[in-house]
Structure 1
């Protein structure tokens, strides 16, 4: 209930403080707000996170075909409109140097730069820069102005052009008008319609409690770094990528604004590696990006207003109000550092690296008080002021720039680019393309005339096109019989198919069964996949036999056979349970090669915990750092884009079929292993058993019957969560009911097919 009380001290404002009807005056985690469910029960499993960004939030409707709409756009005409706008200026937010290009490069970069390789979250794919918390991070200061400036273009093209695509395309156009040859552009990013309330951006909490009387009242506790600075185990918490809370990459003034270039280099390497960039790509991006534009730091941060999410209503979604002058142009404040890196900030050239290495640099302070660097040589080139005609200013470098010069490995790359400008141009072009497209997934998702189709981009996880005819319905039926005649168990076939598919991540569209990478390094060598090795070997023999005998140029891929084996086994398991069911199967998966598989990048998909297969890495305790297995299980369910009912049904079916990675008895609450029963749910919800800890930490449990003579069972946290969590238990009770078995089988098969098809972008938008 919202209590609105007129503020007697100011007739122009309202005091909107909610009151809990039964909590008295107790407040939650932020001063002046009522306690939330998270405040009352901070460790509860937030199952509702599976249902974010649902169709109810989408004003375009579920039937809207974005690819079809985008493909009707004249891309060249659209780009010309963007480029014409970029060289204009409006009074409410004037362009630097008469060119919005550098500002738009920053917008696109920061939209894409949230991507992280550990869980595939972040990136430009859904234009989450429009929503909290990203829209109000300090590092995104004034990106709200950039998006508002290009709103007329978005308004003109409407739903045919997503914000996500427009942001990246505007960045590309900005580079092109300043003489830089971009590597390409692909559309296909579809917008989110609500804030991301599930991604873990770090353990810190920032309370912005500033008022006119207390302008510096902010609380920021940085807790993401583990160990002590300088120690061998000093590292950034996984899956985080940014070095500090509310940043995209690193603090430009150095770690904690300490001005230490080598410490900054360490942060840069950690951060860019977590964002899937190697040393050469890192230098190319930093040096390339800093060839353009300037940094803004004319006003102390304590004078700047609230970020967009909590700015006054009359600012209409714009934040960081600046009280100096008109609040923009020569008075602009963004990150606190002031100045440009080059004499010609709107032209692609190599002056950034030339100046960085030609001159010695000394520390100084910006007008806002931020630490930065200026040339010791007062005869060094100057840079024109962005707004005051005729005024020339000293060049500027950030601590992160000096880091590239002082770090030995980064210095080698810089020297290479200094000696070969064409190589630098090519490296930045490809790194920018990777940065802005990394989270889009397979090339089948790319649309538009400027997309690139080369197989040399390993970060796209390429799968060669098929040079043969796919199998048809008659082949599928025959192959099912052949698979079931191999002597493999239902459990092993189901486990192998699921192991191939469960690597998929909806976040960045990586992983999945397509490509047959379960048979390649590194996946074939993961401990969680050991059980799949003999199954894959048997299926490969069948593949060779079929492909050698098939007529009409038809072949079957190993990827298809792995999934088909699971489907055939499921049909037997359902029939044996008395609920005959046709399990859908769509052929057409293709096999890739070891050469087209980036082992280092795919190792990021290796699970630390996989509740579906009841797996915990042997180093789980140290890696998880206090995160419970069921929390990681929820995270994996979300990465598979499952709903709560799908999660429950899928797990219950996998337990009935014993899809545990090591054939362990945990969660196998049945005497009919390999039969698709609902026994997991009937035992889980039964009051005739008592659960007891089997170890002091509460990682495993035993189920003891209350009546002597009945069987006892073993379980993990990934099993009991479906009985202990109220929302998951409510679903489990449906499947455990007298009428629940057929409903469960139907739900399981539907969820199974969904997971098998998650990566089939060759047959879906």
Structure 2
């Protein structure tokens, strides 16, 4: 993904309120209002679990094999209210797991299977997720039986994995450990399209260039997981669709081979459903009345038979044996010529020309009836696109190679947002590390922390150099997919060491001093970088007249180049950092919006973000040494000066000649006292952020500010310390 494409068309990584579902949200009436609710979207008050409930500990006591076996039994326990195709729910469960995981996007790490977010809007009611509400209800007895220890997030992914195993695939493995959320992620930007399934043109600048789709989005339409199965904007054209498939899967961290394997393997089993025209289907769950019981997409043509259900509008199976893992998909794809036809629901789909009777598909309800197999436009791209075709021809010749490649790709698809293996729990976790798990070796704890701090303090590094380097190392963390962070010290490796946001010249100087200290003391470089930041913060606190120790826990490791997928890490490159008052000049998004996005990815609350920004400003760690927002005559001391000046009515704020910068002028003399950016002044203009700023500006809260800053700083430094979790 090209970092220069970020925010094309003015897209903001977080919503201003349009996705909140609240007609009276302030952003509706006052669109310039910064909506900071994304920082508090998982407030503890929404969580029904006891305050002392520890999900990781609960999971460890789960009967893992029992859960697996119970899901396996459900596969052939067809329910009269939603009967299984051919008496087997494998296809439905696989589609469920696929669509839960398939919302993941590499650009910002959001979406994916890690939280069970399909249970809530908007994903619960996306057109592409039609009837997955039924799949969750079929799984309810298993969730009910195993209770708190089995999260929906785990169960929704496990269902498809068990289904593949049941149908003959040797699966790669499975990890428990995902923890449920309890409220919608309404402030995530899923797109600003005018309606569900709006034309692709609304989120792309050039239909001939799939990569011009607005970042960080990955799907071609609002309401779809990937691409339109009928073709770009519903027009069959496998060559063009192939380009969109490549773009979409790349934005989900998949290469061409993984993409081809997932397409082939995903459609080796199950079927599409087009019981009747889409305009005859009832509304999605969120649009239904109470008596629907949470179900959506009511189908007036559904008569209790599996072959009359409706989901996508396409109708048919891809293979002759849709409940078995085999090579049938490729046998049919390459064995016949295909033509565009209409499903009974009116959707465009591809069907084979002059197919032999033995290759037709048994009806999902009455096996005495046979139907043509089908292909979507994306399936046909596997035959038309020369790169995909070459890969699929290799798969066709070597079914074992296909099975092994698909099994690994499926594991990646369903685990990509779980972060490092330290988060994996259970007996089905495969041995060894995969590079996309961002492996980090365990670090030493057997060294004298105080001795290391003493060497750092005498190193000649400035306070700002130490703090900025530690911050830059840690700020890459994304709670969305648990990637990045200080552990691993990847800031010293490509590509991070060369990112402009990391000020390579300053970084090289600091690392040149800290790395020998690590070698002398037996500490990891990752630990020494964080310790140096702590030393700088402690010096700043002491300079302001207090004496506070910044908490530190050793044990970070140092990753190697061989353990680092440089291309995958490129998406973590900061294009802005409001905490260090920097934004790339060419970005058409306001600095405060990008600051909010970064704070949410770091897992910060509104007041934690406020404390960190105010503290980092007076510490003088702005990118490039900028003085914007350094509202203090005591730079380098951890004081509340930023908040004192921000709330001082003796200054007026005047736009400066430089874009998005301001002057703080003395109201009486007109003299310019300070300069600022939008990422500074938002803490005085936004009503919520000003309320936080006023707390820290109060005369009685200097000590509280130091405590809060240290706590927030430590939270960021430890954000990726999964080894410390219970």
TM-score under structure 1 normalisation?
A: 0.90
* 1:29 Cα deviation from its structure 2 partner: 8.5
CA 1:328/1:674 → structure 2, altered by over 3 Å: closer, same or farther? Answer: farther
* 173-182 or 371-380, which deviates more: 371-380
In structure 1, the partner of 2:136 is 147
In structure 1, the partner of 2:713 is 752
Please say if residues 205 and 221 of structure 1, whose CA atoms lie closer than 8 Å, have aligned partners that are also in contact.
no
| CA shift digits 1:165-209 (9 cap, x unpaired) | 0111111110011000110000000001011111100011327xx
Residue 112 of structure 1, aligned match among 65, 76, 101: 101
Question: Does 2:39 align with 1:64?
Answer: no
* 611-620 or 569-578, which deviates more: 611-620
1:18-57 to structure 2, matched below 5 A, reads 35-57=24-46
1:654-733 to structure 2, matched below 5 A, reads 654-695=616-657, 697=659, 699-708=660-669, 712-733=673-694
- How far apart, CA to CA, are the structure 2 residues paired with 1:715 and 1:130? 43
- How far apart, CA to CA, are the structure 1 residues paired with 2:210 and 2:376? 27
- How far apart, CA to CA, are the structure 1 residues paired with 2:337 and 2:672? 77
Question: Does 2:487 align with 1:521?
Answer: no
- How far apart, CA to CA, are the structure 2 residues paired with 1:731 and 1:36? 20
Partner SS state of residue 653, structure 2:
strand
- How far apart, CA to CA, are the structure 2 residues paired with 1:310 and 1:145? 16
Question: Does 2:187 align with 1:242?
Answer: no
In structure 1, the partner of 2:361 is 383
1:388-399 to structure 2, matched below 5 A, reads 388-399=366-377
Residue 647 of structure 1, aligned match among 592, 601, 609: 609
Question: Does 2:289 align with 1:312?
Answer: yes
Partner SS state of residue 592, structure 1:
coil
In structure 1, the partner of 2:475 is 502
- How far apart, CA to CA, are the structure 2 residues paired with 1:420 and 1:600? 29
Please say if residues 443 and 453 of structure 1, whose CA atoms lie closer than 8 Å, have aligned partners that are also in contact.
no
* 1:222 Cα deviation from its structure 2 partner: 4.9
* 1:420 Cα deviation from its structure 2 partner: 1.4
* 1:620 Cα deviation from its structure 2 partner: 2.0
Question: Does 2:310 align with 1:345?
Answer: no
- How far apart, CA to CA, are the structure 2 residues paired with 1:151 and 1:234? 40
- How far apart, CA to CA, are the structure 2 residues paired with 1:748 and 1:452? 40
- How far apart, CA to CA, are the structure 2 residues paired with 1:205 and 1:587? 50
Please say if residues 336 and 355 of structure 2, whose CA atoms lie closer than 8 Å, have aligned partners that are also in contact.
no
- How far apart, CA to CA, are the structure 2 residues paired with 1:87 and 1:34? 44
Please say if residues 488 and 556 of structure 2, whose CA atoms lie closer than 8 Å, have aligned partners that are also in contact.
yes
Please say if residues 81 and 304 of structure 2, whose CA atoms lie closer than 8 Å, have aligned partners that are also in contact.
no
Partner SS state of residue 68, structure 2:
helix
* 1:72 Cα deviation from its structure 2 partner: 1.7
| CA shift digits 1:339-385 (9 cap, x unpaired) | 11111111111110121011100010000000001111232611111
Question: Does 2:303 align with 1:326?
Answer: yes
- How far apart, CA to CA, are the structure 2 residues paired with 1:717 and 1:709? 21
In structure 2, the partner of 1:197 is 186
Partner SS state of residue 372, structure 1:
strand
Residue 341 of structure 2, aligned match among 359, 364, 373: 364
In structure 2, the partner of 1:594 is 561
In structure 2, the partner of 1:630 is 592
Residue 543 of structure 1, aligned match among 504, 518, 543: 518
* 1:76 Cα deviation from its structure 2 partner: 1.5
| CA shift digits 1:517-573 (9 cap, x unpaired) | 011111110001123221111100211222xxxxxxxx2000000000011111111
Partner SS state of residue 341, structure 2:
strand
Please say if residues 610 and 632 of structure 1, whose CA atoms lie closer than 8 Å, have aligned partners that are also in contact.
yes
Partner SS state of residue 595, structure 1:
helix
1:471-486 to structure 2, matched below 5 A, reads 471-472=446-447, 475-486=448-459
In structure 1, the partner of 2:10 is none
Aligned residues: 706
Please say if residues 224 and 236 of structure 1, whose CA atoms lie closer than 8 Å, have aligned partners that are also in contact.
no
Partner SS state of residue 508, structure 1:
coil
Give the root-mean-square deviation of aligned CA atoms: 1.8
1:198-597 to structure 2, matched below 5 A, reads 198-206=187-195, 220=198, 222=200, 224-230=202-208, 235-326=212-303, 328-379=305-356, 381-455=359-433, 457-466=434-443, 469-472=444-447, 475-530=448-503, 531-546=506-521, 555-597=522-564
| CA shift digits 1:296-318 (9 cap, x unpaired) | 01211111101111212111111
Partner SS state of residue 381, structure 2:
helix
CA 1:566/1:132 → structure 2, altered by over 3 Å: closer, same or farther? Answer: same
CA 1:234/1:422 → structure 2, altered by over 3 Å: closer, same or farther? Answer: closer
Residue 84 of structure 1, aligned match among 54, 60, 73: 73
In structure 1, the partner of 2:9 is none
Q: Which runs of 5+ in 2 are unaligned?
A: 1-16
Please say if residues 275 and 302 of structure 2, whose CA atoms lie closer than 8 Å, have aligned partners that are also in contact.
no
Please say if residues 257 and 371 of structure 1, whose CA atoms lie closer than 8 Å, have aligned partners that are also in contact.
yes
Please say if residues 465 and 590 of structure 1, whose CA atoms lie closer than 8 Å, have aligned partners that are also in contact.
yes
| CA shift digits 1:98-123 (9 cap, x unpaired) | 10011100000000000000000000
* 1:691 Cα deviation from its structure 2 partner: 1.4
Please say if residues 117 and 276 of structure 1, whose CA atoms lie closer than 8 Å, have aligned partners that are also in contact.
yes
Please say if residues 83 and 173 of structure 1, whose CA atoms lie closer than 8 Å, have aligned partners that are also in contact.
yes
* 1:619 Cα deviation from its structure 2 partner: 3.2
* 1:327 Cα deviation from its structure 2 partner: 5.8
Q: Which runs of 5+ in 1 are unaligned?
A: 1-27, 208-218, 547-554, 622-626
TM-score under structure 2 normalisation?
A: 0.95
